Amino acid sequence: MSTTLASSSNSTGATQPQANYRRHVLDLDDFSRDEIGEILETTASMKEVLNRPIKQVPALRGKTVVNMFFEDSTRTRISFELAARALSANVVTMSARGSSVEKGESLLDTMRTLQALGADIIVMRHRESGAPYLVAQHFLGSVLNAGDGRHAHPTQALLDLFTIQERLGRIEGLKVVIVGDIVHSRVARSNLWGLTTMGAHVTLCAPTTLLGPAAFWTATWPKVTITTDLDECVRDADVIMTLRLQKERQESGLLPSLREYSRFFGVNAARVACAAPHCLVMHPGPMNEGVEITPDVATSAQSVIETQVTNGVAVRMALLYRLAEH
């Protein structure tokens, strides 16, 4: 359920447009084009804050943000910590290791403990798909999904959208190729929601063992293109987004070898040369360099991988700010 907040001057010094504010951010499947646009506008304001000599505003002063990570993370966890601190929130980060979860405490009991300790917003990453949805049904504050199983990663999709718009000036009408371990990727699913909502033309490319039935994708996203031919689909692409091989979620026997995978589905300089001259190369990280992407492409002028990481802080600031206003 969302409530309406009228246009006003916020704590960053920027004037925010009238917007629909929601209580939770679990995926992008229920986000409208206007709402995504508003988030991208707010992200631009937050990025301006991060470019100031003093990278902090009092927007979340007095609020407590708990980062609850049940899976290992570097970029997302640190990004959320920096985002909350830049908004002057009280920040607590916990992981399953060293917590009462190792003693058998349930997820809901952990949530109730955090609620009793005064948490206003829970940022949650969990290995099981749907876990943030369960917590959101019981938590009195707001829940922000930082990645659940193979299901969703909304903040990664939003930072990808912001990076594309910032660099290319638009999202609508662009040809975006997502290549790699599609079937295990929460990044691919959330990006499909965000990119198609904003009017991009999306192609999914992977070996059949890492793609799954085409009907699964086209039933939800009927305009998406499905292919196993990377050389063909990268022609004139505006964006090539390569995904990590998620060995921790894979069963054995899905690939003959990493060398063969890299030969047919690795993003290299020759393939990027077939794309549009302005083509962006993206990767959510962490990378298996030499497998899904070659080192020279990862550090090339067309690569925006480090920019994605930078923009992640601003996107997460924007979302935390909006949730705190609900």
Catalytic residue among 76, 163, 196, 203: 76
Q: Please say if 76 is a catalytic residue.
A: yes
Q: Please say if 153 is a catalytic residue.
A: yes
Residue 203, helix vs strand vs coil: strand
Catalytic residue among 75, 85, 127, 201: 75
Catalytic residue among 24, 77, 125, 283: 125
Catalytic residue among 153, 189, 244, 322: 153
- 3-state DSSP of 37-72: HHHHHHHHHHHHHHCCCCCCCCCCCCCEEEEEECCC
Reading the block at residue 131, the tokens are: 């876990």
Q: Please say if 283 is a catalytic residue.
A: no
Reading the block at residue 164, the tokens are: 């594309």
Q: Please say if 75 is a catalytic residue.
A: yes
d(CA 61, CA 183): 40
Cα separation of the two ends of the chain: 10
Q: Please say if 52 is a catalytic residue.
A: no
CB 213: neighbour CB atoms within 10 A? 11
**DSSP 8-class letter at 252:** T
CA distances from 29 to 17, 39, 221, 275, 299 (A): 22, 15, 11, 29, 32
Reading the block at residue 133, the tokens are: 């949805």
Catalytic residues: 75-76, 103, 125, 153
